[in-house]
Amino acid sequence: MADVLVVAELADGQIRKTTLSAITMAKAAAAVLGGGFDILVIGGPGAKAAAAGATAFGAGKVLVAEDAGLTDYVAERYAPTVADVGKGYGLICATASSYGKDLIPRVAGRLEAAFAGDCAGVSDAGGKIAYKRPMFAGNAFGTCTLNTAIQTATARQSEFEPAAESGGASPISDVTATAPSGAAERVEFVSLEQVKSERPELGEASTVVSGGRALKEEFFKVLEPLVDVLGSALGASRAACDAGYAPGDYQVGQTGKIVAPDLYFAIGISGAIQHVAGMKSSKTIVAINKDPDAPIFQIADYGLVADLFQAVPELVEALKAKKAAG
């Protein structure tokens, strides 16, 4: 019998929605291990206030490591605390966001623990956790088990439903932050260059509109009116990003962000397997492409073979008219 520790991710003084996918994974893993799960909130001043947002999901307790030295995220400064707190757990996990992908492997290294990254599911393999992981750009899945006493893993956000509040309130306990040592002690935070937008964050949005290289320099001119009328996030294919039509942090796909919104628009995107790997878990997929043989139509729920430069403005006008009519 062992418990699971979820490492929460903070942003702007709050628990990020991405953490809820890791909680779902933790509940499934805890059922296999015969234990429960706790949540660790780690950060600078304000972390304890943010921890209140993690108390409603059924955790045994919410642990808070609040320290001025943790104000700005640097993996070398966070990993010692997570590792020390995690020594008493059977599994330490987080969501496979940039944060989780950076932090959890470092924790694994400190604990000499086995690591399973980007997991799409967990199941019971004779009392051991079997981790389901995507391979070949998501076209196949394999399962693995880990043999160390402490295990570490990250959960693919698109494969785990966000945990729902379960009622009640988990108790909050303080834990002491562990100072880094050796080479890690010399690592310091310099600056963070972050793109700020009033639109929803790409990985957390319920609706995403993504464009491909076919939009060329008209990328924002064509897509932004649709994004605004839908209140959606804006994404792009790698080809569009590589061509300079969209910033790199807009990229959806195997080497970009993995998304699973309720509604996904693929506009001028052919449907290369690398892009599909990042969005195929979307609940409803709408594709607009002038090529009737584009691979994207094979996974789309709704497909329109049309010139996107004509179809998208017409769609925007139709949506505006519908909104105006109530």
One pLDDT digit (tens) per residue for the chain, 326 residues: 799 999 999 988 899 999 999 999 999 999 999 999 999 999 999 999 999 999 999 999 999 999 998 999 999 999 999 999 999 999 999 999 989 999 999 999 999 999 999 999 999 999 999 999 988 877 789 999 999 999 999 999 888 999 999 888 999 999 999 998 888 888 888 888 766 677 888 888 999 999 999 999 999 999 999 999 999 999 999 999 999 999 998 999 988 888 989 999 999 999 998 899 889 889 999 999 999 999 999 999 999 999 999 999 999 999 999 988 87
Residue among 53, 52, 54, 100 at smallest CA distance from 78: 100
- Distance between CA atoms of residues 88 and 54, nearest Å: 20
> Would you tell me the crossing angle of helices 308-325 and 219-230 to the nearest 10 degrees?
20
CA distance readout (Å), 271 to 239, 259, 288, 305 = 11, 15, 11, 14
CB within 8 Å of 276: residues ≥ 6 apart: 137, 138, 253, 295, 296, 299
Question: What predicted TM-score, i.e. pTM, was given to this entire model?
Answer: 0.85
pLDDT of residue 31: 96
Rounded to 5, what percent of the chain is helix, strand, coil?
A: 35, 25, 40
- Distance between CA atoms of residues 101 and 24, nearest Å: 18
Alpha helices in the chain (DSSP H): 19-33, 47-51, 75-86, 98-111, 219-230, 238-242, 273-276, 308-325
∠ Cα 38 40 46 (to 5°):
135
- Distance between CA atoms of residues 212 and 238, nearest Å: 8
List the domains of the chain with CATH numbers: 4-186 (3.40.50.620), 207-325 (3.40.50.1220)
pLDDT of residue 215: 96
**Whether the Cβ atoms of residue 260 and residue 242 lie closer than 8 Å to each other:** no
- Distance between CA atoms of residues 103 and 36, nearest Å: 22
Structure tokens at 111: 């604990």
